Amino acid sequence: MPYHDVGYIALLEKVIKFTKPYGIVQLGDALDFWQISAYDKNPLRKQTIAEDAQIYKGILQRWADLLPIDGVIHQLEGNHCDRLRRYIWRNAKELAGLVQTVPEMIGLRDLGIRTVWHPLAQWDSCKIGDAVCHHGHFFNMHAAAGNLIKYPKSLITGHTHRFQYVSNGTRFSCTLGHGSNETETAHQPTPTGWQQAFAILSVNGHKTHIEPVLVHNGECVVYGKRIDV
Ligand SMILES: [Fe+2]
């Protein structure tokens, strides 16, 4: 928030209704905290951190309501989510511990469903079968290929806004695109190479399989069915 693509979110909700998953993993950077970032900000934008958090809280609640009663939401911390802690430590360290944390701000404990917060610093916190979901740290044109070598597990990340998938036959590495409004989030006037996407994970035995789904203009194809907003 607030650079999310509302069309992408609406599409996801249709996909959740169609696929009926057991759980959802949000790969991080759900809150941008642009108000306290070092990047230039649009002075016409007046929305507060609290308002951004409220919007995401509403989205989480809708997701929770779509999941089965024994379902789970895994919320990963992204580097943008971590901006609040860094800001307080730098500018008002006396208030550390007094200001709400991100999980508190988004009401993660109040969704009526099991939820798990995964800190950015703990790369293997979110295990799904034999794969790990992490927000991601490395950022270049070949992040997925680099991660396949660097990490000992199959790995699913966000962060790069690009879609990349590589496998060595036993493990895979995937950077899973983004769900933002590209025209508002891109900082440079060049083609971004970004791709909206999500994936369906299934665990067979101990082995995790990934089915990436690419989103173009509010449309995607899941299990052969075209879904749009
Ligand atoms: Fe990020």
The answer to whether the beta carbons of residues 178 and 139 sit under 8 Å apart is: no
Whether residue 80 lies inside any domain: the answer is yes
Residue 157 lies in a domain: yes
Whether 1 maps to a domain, the answer reads: no
Question: What is the distance in A from the centroid of ligand 1 to the CA of 158?
Answer: 7
Ligand 1 centroid to 225 CA: how many Å? Answer: 31
Average pLDDT over residues 133-140: 92
Give pLDDT, residue 102.
93
- What mean pLDDT is predicted for residues 71-90? 92
Instruction: Report CA(72)–ligand 1 centroid distance (Å).
Output: 23
DSSP conformation class of 101? P
CATH number at residue 191: 3.60.21
The parent domain of residue 104 ranges over: 6-228
Answer yes or no: is 22 within a domain.
Answer: yes
Residue 78 domain flag: yes
Strand partners, 221: 226
Q: CB burial class (10 A; 0-12, 13-18, 19+) of residue 106?
A: buried
How much is the pLDDT for 119?
Answer: 96
- Is residue 69 domain-resident? yes
Number of structural domains (the chain) is: 1
Domain assignment present for 161: yes
Q: Give the pLDDT band (50/70/90) at residue 41.
A: low
- Alpha carbon distances (Å) from 165 to 63, 144, 174: 26, 6, 4
Residue 42 has pLDDT above 80, yes or no: no
* DSSP element (H, E) containing 23: strand 23-26
Instruction: Tell me the C-alpha distance between 43 and 41, whole Å.
Output: 6
pTM of the model: 0.94
pLDDT at residue number 143? 96
% of the chain with per-residue pLDDT over 90: 74
- pLDDT of 17 over the 80 cut: yes
